[in-house]
Amino acid sequence: MEKVTGSNGDFAVTVRKKARYVDEDLCTGCGACAEKCPTTVPDEFNMGLGKRKAIYKYYTQGIPSTFCIDAVHCRTFQKGKKCGVCEKICQAKAIDYKQEDKILELKVGAIVLAVGYDLFDAAKLPEYGYGRITNVINALEFERLLSASGPTEGHVERLSDLRDHELIHSGEKKLKKATKTLGKYEKKHKKSSADFYKEFTAGNISDGDEFAKWAKQYESVQEATKKLEALKAKAEKFDVATRLAFIQCVGSRDFRFNKYCSSYCCMHSIKEAMIAKDHEARTDAYIFNMDLRTVGKGFEEYKVRGAEKTGLNYVRGRVAEITQDENENPIIWYEETTSQTPKSLTVDLAILAVACEAPKGIEKIAEMVGVELDHNRFFKTDPLNPLDTTVPGIFVCGCAQGPMDIPESVAQASSAASRAAEAVAGKA
């Protein structure tokens, strides 16, 4: 959305439809293009924990079920690089590298603002080590680890283990390439690299530039082989994460950042802990909280069932700091307020329940449509009509109004659609 003019029942909206470089009418969503694409980049939908190709679907259930090209990473769009693999492989002839953005001029009777939310950046709390301690993650990253369609297919693995698996994979590729270079020397001189190196270090081979490079390459391969073997031996002992710590109110109920409660975090952590327990019966989950706010029908019963049936551990206490041991296991330092005793707990993963914040750029949208924001930067609404903004004919739903869980967001979406219909009919 680039421009909005008009009033209730008669808005003119300018929308930019960005080029996806794939014809939506021709694409069948078969995925052959992504399968053959040679460029791999971090997957934003999986919070950077997995990889995707430069031609991709944002997520599996996305509508329309059409691929798009990431022009920032696609080799065809980079100067001096050639590729075109997706165009060659696409039987539907849907790839269009020359596609451009389209400007749409829409006449509408009402506008619904459903801008979503951003996560609080936990790196602003350095005592928790997010971004510095590998196995400290946020709740949405953990959600992707739990998902069957996520980067680990639902297996809860430590991020340090995922990193080491990636190092093994890349190390094997580099070692294969380096060994291939050694093979060229061996073929040329008809001698194994091991025999050559013994003679070279004994001084039986005259020092020359080529022989020095051969010796250096051999040393490099030997060192890389040792590191790779050590890493593989370490990886054999890897297991799924079974000791989990959930830290509540990270960036919420905090006068330094967000004074408000983000409302859904307590239930989200309880749900994630219970699902993790379903995935792996050995799981021990600890939920550190000032108090658990389970506001909603059946929510309190769900919390109680989590403790009594699933075996979740609710720890009343504010976490002061998170450090790590020599095995990169997070150590939770806290005071258990019921006993007023400082304690520590070593876990496999620490999951931060970060605050729900108004999205970046919301001020620009508010200025564009002329609506006011509240003191927390969410869209301001009428207390008696919680979907109505300060401009007639413009409505909100979900986290555009404030922190909200999925059931409430869905209910609000239906209500907002009804209010918009009234505006179009001239009854709002």
How many CB atoms are closer than 10 A to CB 98? 6
Q: How many angstroms separate the CA atoms of 428 and 6, rounded?
A: 16
pLDDT surpassing 90 at residue 81: no
Q: How many angstroms separate the CA atoms of 320 and 333, rounded?
A: 6
Q: How many angstroms separate the CA atoms of 159 and 150, rounded?
A: 14
Cα distances from 32 to residues 27, 28, 29, 90, 96, in angstroms, run 11, 10, 8, 7, 16
Q: How many angstroms separate the CA atoms of 398 and 116, rounded?
A: 7
Provide the percentage of residues in the chain whose pLDDT is more than 70.
99
In this structure, the dihedral spanned by the alpha carbons of residues 274, 276, 277 and 278, taken in order and rounded to 10 degrees, is: 90
Name all contacts of 273-278 with Cβ < 8 Å and 24+ positions apart. Answer: 273/244, 273/246, 273/306, 273/310, 273/312, 274/306, 274/310, 274/312, 275/146, 276/146, 276/156, 276/244, 277/310, 277/311, 277/312
- 62 pLDDT band, cuts 50/70/90, is confident
427 vs 76, higher pLDDT: 76
pLDDT surpassing 70 at residue 108: yes
The 10s digit of each residue's pLDDT in 266-292 is 999 999 999 999 999 999 999 999 999
Mean pLDDT of 248-254: 96
SS3 334: strand
Cα distances from 348 to residues 131, 160, 329, in angstroms, run 16, 10, 5
Provide the percentage of residues in the chain whose pLDDT is more than 90.
90
Instruction: Report the pLDDT value the prediction gives residue 205, as an integer from 0 to 100.
Output: 79
Instruction: Report the pLDDT value the prediction gives residue 371, as an integer from 0 to 100.
Output: 96
209 vs 418, higher pLDDT: 418
- 428 pLDDT band, cuts 50/70/90, is low
Mean pLDDT of 132-138: 97
Instruction: Report the pLDDT value the prediction gives residue 209, as an integer from 0 to 100.
Output: 86
